[in-house]
Amino acid sequence: MAGHSAWKNIKHRKAAVDAKRGKIWSKCSRAIIVAARSGGGDPKFNALLRIAIDAAKAANMPRDTIEKAVKKGAGDGDGETFEAVRYEGYGPGGVAIIADCLVANVNKTAPEIRTIFDKNGGNLGVPGSVTYGFSHRGVVLVPAGGITEERLFDVVLAAGADDVAGGDEGWQVTCAPADLARVRDALEASGIAFEGAETSFIPVSMVDVDADAAARCARLVAALEEHDDVQKVHVNAEIPDA
- CA 11 to chain centroid, in Å, comes to 12
What does the pLDDT read at residue 19?
A: 56
What is the arithmetic mean of pLDDT over 96-104?
96
Domain 6-73 falls under CATH 3.40.720.10: no
pTM: 0.85
pLDDT tens digits, one per residue of 136-182: 999 999 998 878 888 999 999 999 999 998 877 889 999 999 999 99
CB 174 within 8 A of CB 194: no
Q: Has residue 49 got a pLDDT over 90?
A: yes
CB 171 within 8 A of CB 179: no
In CATH, which of 3.30.420.40, 3.40.50.10800, 3.30.70.980, 3.40.50.2300 is domain 133-203? 3.30.70.980
Instruction: Using pLDDT thresholds of 50, 70 and 90, give the confidence band for residue 63.
Output: very high
The DSSP bridge pattern shows strands 230-235 and 96-103 to be: antiparallel
Fold annotation for 83-132+205-235: Alpha-Beta Plaits (3.30.70)
What does the pLDDT read at residue 16?
A: 58
The reply to whether 83-132+205-235 and 133-203 are identical in fold is yes
Mean predicted lDDT score pLDDT of the chain:
89
Q: Is 62 exposed, middle or buried (0-12, 13-18, 19+ CB in 10 A)?
A: exposed
* Distances 147 to 5, 141, 143, 187 between C-alpha atoms, Å: 22, 13, 9, 11
What does the pLDDT read at residue 196?
A: 79
Q: What phi, psi does 157 have (nearest 5°)?
A: -70, -35
Q: Has residue 17 got a pLDDT over 60?
A: no
Largest CA distance in the chain: 50
Domain residue ranges of the chain, discontinuous segments joined by +? 6-73, 83-132+205-235, 133-203
Q: Is 80 exposed, middle or buried (0-12, 13-18, 19+ CB in 10 A)?
A: exposed
The number of residues in the chain equals 242
pLDDT tens digits, one per residue of 179-236: 999 999 999 999 999 987 899 999 999 999 999 999 999 999 999 999 999 999 999 9
